[in-house]
């Protein structure tokens, strides 16, 4: 069914457009003037000025792996993060801990853990899904590299970025 859009009734001056055009020009000119006088400060000059100080608590930067207070890798390579990761950025090769290891009770730890940062979309689902609180999105955002291979964070890099996180998971405590 045809539907007629009611047009507003314009006065002669409005129909002439010119006054409005001048008004518009005045607005844009004001913005220009304020920029030139340095009154507006919206843009951040990136390498010199950085977000670091202003990053909110919930900021989601690069995903990293963390160790617990005893230096144990938290990750048990359950591969849930690999499963949930929407762009399939995570690739894990599971492995088992040797029986003489201090943490032998945990039995399992990743042999290799790669996050392809050229794929990662910083969604945080890996952190959300991890049953061991082993993967956290830290505040690193300047992830760069000169090749695709450079953009893959391997296990050591992930632990280096992640550091330690004293923790909430007590189930590997031998007494519990």
Partner 1 sequence: MDFLNDIPWMLIAASIAKTLFLIFGVVLPIVSYTVYAERRVSALIQDRLGPNRTGFPISLFGFQKDLQLFLGGLGQPVADAMKFLLKEEFTPGHVNKFYFWLAPVLAMVPALSTLAVLPFGNFLFGQKMVVADVNVGILYVFAVASVGVYGIVLAGWSSNSKYPFLGSIRASSQMISYELSLGLSAVPVLMIIGNLNLSEAIQYQIDNGWLLLPFTDGKLTLRELLLWIPVLVSFIIFTISMFAETNRLPFDLPESETELVAGYHTEYSAMKFALFFLGEYAAMIAGSSIIVVLFLGGWHVPFLPINTLESSTTPSGIALGFLHITAFFAKVVGILIFFIWVRWTLPRFRFDQLMKLGWLYLFEIALVNIFITAAILAWVK
Partner 2 sequence: MSTEVQLLNVQIDGVWLQFPKGTKVIDACQQAGKFIPRYCYHPKLSVPGNCRMCLIEMGMPKMTPDRKPVLGPDGKPEIGWIPRPQISCAQDVSEGMGVRTDSPMVKECRQGVMEFLLINHPLDCPICDQAGECRLQEFSVEYGNAHSRFLERKVKKPKNVELGPRVTLDAERCVLCSRCIRFMKEVAHDDVLGFVDRGGFSTIACHPEKTLESNYSLNTVDICPVGALTSTDFRFKMRVWFLKETKSIDVNDGLGCNILIGSREGHIYRITPRENNDVNGNWIPDSHRLNFKVLQDGSRLLHPTVDSKKSTWPEAVAAAHSQLKAASKLAMVVSARLTNEELYLAKRLASALHITLHDVLPRVGEPDGILIPADRNPNTAGARLLGATTETPGSQLKDILTGVRNGTITGILSLGEDLLECGFTHDDLAKLKALVATSILPNATTAAAHVVLPGAAFAEKRGSMININGRLQRLNKAFEPAGECRDDWEILSDLLSATGQTHALHSVEDVFRSMSQDVPAFEGLNLGKIGDLGLQLLTKPEAATA
Contact residues: partner 2, CB under 8 A: 76-80, 82-83, 94-96, 99, 105-108, 131-132, 171, 175-176
Residue 32 interface partner, choices ligand SF4, partner 1, partner 2, none, CB cut-off 5-8 Å depending on type = partner 1
Instruction: Could you list the beta-strand ranges (E) of the chain.
Output: 63-65, 90-96, 108-116, 135-137, 152-153
What burial class does residue 105 get, using C-beta atoms within 10 Å of its C-beta: 0-12 exposed, 13-18 middle, 19+ buried? exposed
- Does residue 108 touch partner 1 according to CB under 8 A? no
Residues near 67 by Cβ (< 8 Å), separated by ≥ 6? 73, 74, 159, 162, 163, 164, 165
Residue 107 interface partner, choices partner 1, partner 2, ligand SF4, none, CB cut-off 5-8 Å depending on type = partner 2
Q: Is 13 helix (H, G, I), strand (E, B) or coil?
A: helix
DSSP state of 173: S
Separation of first and last alpha carbons in the chain: 71
Q: Which residue in the set 5, 18, 53, 168 belongs to the binding site for partner 1 (CB under 8 A)? A: 18
For partner 2, which is the closer residue by CB, 111 or 160?
111
Chain residues in the site for ligand SF4 (CB under 6 A): 63, 75-81, 84-87, 89-90, 92, 115, 120-126, 129-130, 132, 134-135, 137
Residues in contact with partner 1 by CB under 8 A are 18, 21, 24-25, 27-29, 31-32, 34-36, 40, 42-43, 45
């Amino acid at each position: 069914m045809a539907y007629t859009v009611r047009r507003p009734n314009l006065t002669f001056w409005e129909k002439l457009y010119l006054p409005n055009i001048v008004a518009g020009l005045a607005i844009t000119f004001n913005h220009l003037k304020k920029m030139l006088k340095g009154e507006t400060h919206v843009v951040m000059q990136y390498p010199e000025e950085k977000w670091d100080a202003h990053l909110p608590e919930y900021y989601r930067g690069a995903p990293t792996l963390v160790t617990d207070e005893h230096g144990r890798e938290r990750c048990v390579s359950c591969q849930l993060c690999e499963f949930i990761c929407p762009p399939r950025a995570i690739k894990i090769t599971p492995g088992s801990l040797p029986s003489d290891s201090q943490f032998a009770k945990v039995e399992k730890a990743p042999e290799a853990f790669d996050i392809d940062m050229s794929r990662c979309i910083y969604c945080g689902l890996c952190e959300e899904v991890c049953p061991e609180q082993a993967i956290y999105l830290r505040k690193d955002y300047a992830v760069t590299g000169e090749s695709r291979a450079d953009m893959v964070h391997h296990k050591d890099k992930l632990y280096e970025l992640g550091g330690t996180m004293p923790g909430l998971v007590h189930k590997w405590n031998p007494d519990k």
